[in-house]
Amino acid sequence: MNKETIKIFDTTLRDGEQSPGASMNTEEKIQIAAQLERLGVDIIEAGFAAASPGDFDAIEKIAQRVSNSTVCSLARAIDSDVKAAGEAVAKARMKRIHTFIATSKIHMEHKLKMSPDEVIKRAVRAVEYARTFVEDVEFSCEDAGRSDIGFMKEISDAVIQAGATTINLPDTVGFRLPFEIGAMVKEMSEYVKGRAIISVHNHNDLGLGVANSLEAVINGARQVECTINGLGERAGNAALEEIVMALRTRQDVFKGFETNINTKEIYPSSRLIASITGIEPQPNKAIVGKNAFAHESGIHQDGMLKNKETYEIIRPADIGLDMEDTLVLGKHSGRAAFKDKLSKLGFTLTDEALNSSFERFKILADRKKDIYDDDLRALVTNEMTSAPKIFELISLQLMDCSNGMPSAAVSIKKDDNEIIDASIGDGTMDAIFKTIDRISGYDGQLLDYKVKSVSKGKDALANVTVKVSFNGEPAIIGHGLNIDTMLASARAYIGALNSYLSMEGKLKSRHSDSSKTI
């Protein structure tokens, strides 16, 4: 039996980045795009090119890096947006422009202040202009979940005639129930049958994003828009891993459908996104949460010992998760073994990145008795996604006491010059960050701080994530990795500063939520 392929449209780099605190630098976005390509995603929505020069730059670089997935940019139904999107994806092997305009009565009247006829004219113009840049154009009826279906048919006719090949029906505010989404998709898919693909983009405001997406597939949708770990604005988007594994696991229901996703790359993708954004899936998150394959009940444990299928409908190995937390390598391991292990973990490094990662691994191996897969993932991810090192930490000396003022002496290198300074602070961390501010000349405001143990043991690596606003600009995420938490914190802060400086001049205020969300 020939199966129909459900296209997986990943918007982690666009809608997912709109999660509070999930901003990423260009290098981080490139690494995520490379992982999404390994995952087998059909379309990667790499960003919103007109949002800022930084977004444009990231999309343009991803377009040159990715070859097996379609690279897409979002654009409002405005000429300048469409032009920016077209230029950003120009060098992609497979490219798409995704343009949208609101179609619900409440949006047209109160946000756009346009008549339905004006909305259709604007949509047609956007699609026609997009076709001058790419052959693959997707059109979205923003707030489709609250739009009149008669009007959606009318505007779909117009944009399909103008050249759109995919019609997306976003439940922008996560309002609809599964049976309502199913009915809408069924009617629309039958209406445009043979002329365009129907896509859905479900938000999770009522916790129904995945359920609505699966109901849409049953009723005719052949593209699903989603994000890794369910990232996204407000309560997030439908989670890619849940949709894909539901389609795969319940073949009794979805026997006519398949995806191009390599499910063994799901867990590595989840860990990469969590590491870069600093947003961990909740422990009981389906598929990728740390408790997803944990069995505490005695009855469950007894059943698992006798036959894993008694309480497990998905094998951990199916998503690329090694439940043994396998011990790997050591200080006597060579470069070849290191490279081979990274390859098995899904990393493909340039010679320069491999050499740098191997040096850091050897330093770690001298200090840490046992090195685990998660240690290597964290080490390599940190190396591959670092911004250019404008400032580099050389040394850190701390003094703290119960009845005195904490102080920090920091040595930092810039342009081959070493700069040393010291400060006191309200706490050790405050002293470190104040000293870095003094040396760099940039005033940083710490908005968030998180520290997480990468693996296990008293000598576990500390993975520190900071969210910092420099000189009042939009917040930047920084990451630091070290056995010593204070050193990791200093590196995270300097990492955020380097990311800020690499994007300085490219940072602009984001468009309002209403202009960026579908």
**Per-residue tens of pLDDT for the chain, all 518 residues:** 688 999 999 999 999 887 766 678 888 899 899 999 999 999 999 999 999 888 999 999 999 999 999 999 999 999 999 999 999 999 999 999 999 999 999 999 999 999 999 999 999 999 999 999 999 999 999 999 999 999 999 999 999 999 999 999 999 999 999 999 999 999 999 999 999 999 999 999 999 999 999 999 999 999 999 999 999 989 999 999 999 999 999 999 999 999 999 999 999 999 889 888 878 899 999 999 988 887 444 444 344 445 566 668 899 999 988 765 455 677 778 888 888 888 777 777 778 888 888 888 888 888 887 788 888 888 888 777 777 889 999 999 998 777 778 999 999 999 989 999 999 999 999 999 999 999 999 999 999 998 988 888 888 899 898 989 998 887 888 889 999 999 999 999 999 999 888 876 544 443 344 445 68
Is the residue at 516 inside a domain? no
Q: Is 201 annotated as a binding residue?
A: yes
Same domain for 276 and 303? Answer: no
Is residue 170 a contact partner of residue 145, using CB atoms and an 8 Å limit? Answer: yes
Other Cβ atoms within 10 Å of 165 Cβ, number: 17
The three-point CA angle 182-285-20 to 5° equals: 85
Phi, psi of 193 (to 5 degrees): -50, 130
DSSP E strands: which ranges in 212-266?
223-226, 257-258
Same domain for 274 and 397? Answer: no
Query: What is the spatial distance between Cα 71 and Cα 78, in angstroms, rounded to a whole number?
Result: 20
Pairing of strands 407-414, 70-76: unpaired
Same domain for 162 and 246? Answer: yes
* Tokens 């696991």 sit on residue: 249
Same domain for 91 and 193? Answer: yes
How many domains, the chain?
Answer: 4
Is residue 380 a contact partner of residue 354, using CB atoms and an 8 Å limit? Answer: no
Is the residue at 341 inside a domain? yes
Is the residue at 233 inside a domain? yes
Is the residue at 246 inside a domain? yes
Same domain for 299 and 421? Answer: no
Is the residue at 176 inside a domain? yes
Same domain for 143 and 98? Answer: yes
DSSP state of 174: S
Same domain for 364 and 469? Answer: no
Q: Is 511 annotated as a binding residue?
A: no
Burial class (CB in 10 A: 0-12, 13-18, 19+), 451: middle
Taking alpha carbons only, the member of 39, 51, 67, 478 closest to residue 227 is 39
Q: Any idea what the CATH number is for the domain that residue 173 is in?
A: 3.20.20.70
Same domain for 236 and 201? Answer: yes
Same domain for 310 and 268? Answer: no
Instruction: Name the region of 105 (left: φ>0; alpha: ψ -120 to 50; beta: rest).
Output: alpha
Is the residue at 512 inside a domain? no
Is the residue at 309 inside a domain? yes
Domain that holds residue 436: 392-503
Is the residue at 510 inside a domain? no
Same domain for 218 and 151? Answer: yes
Same domain for 309 and 446? Answer: no
Residues 6+ apart with CB under 8 A from 488: 451, 461, 462, 463, 464, 480, 481, 482
Question: Which amino acid appears at position 512 of this protein?
Answer: S
Same domain for 30 and 131? Answer: yes
pTM above 0.75? yes
DSSP annotation string for 142-178 = ETGGGS-HHHHHHHHHHHHHHT--EEEEEETTS---H
Show the tokens assigned to 253.
């229901």
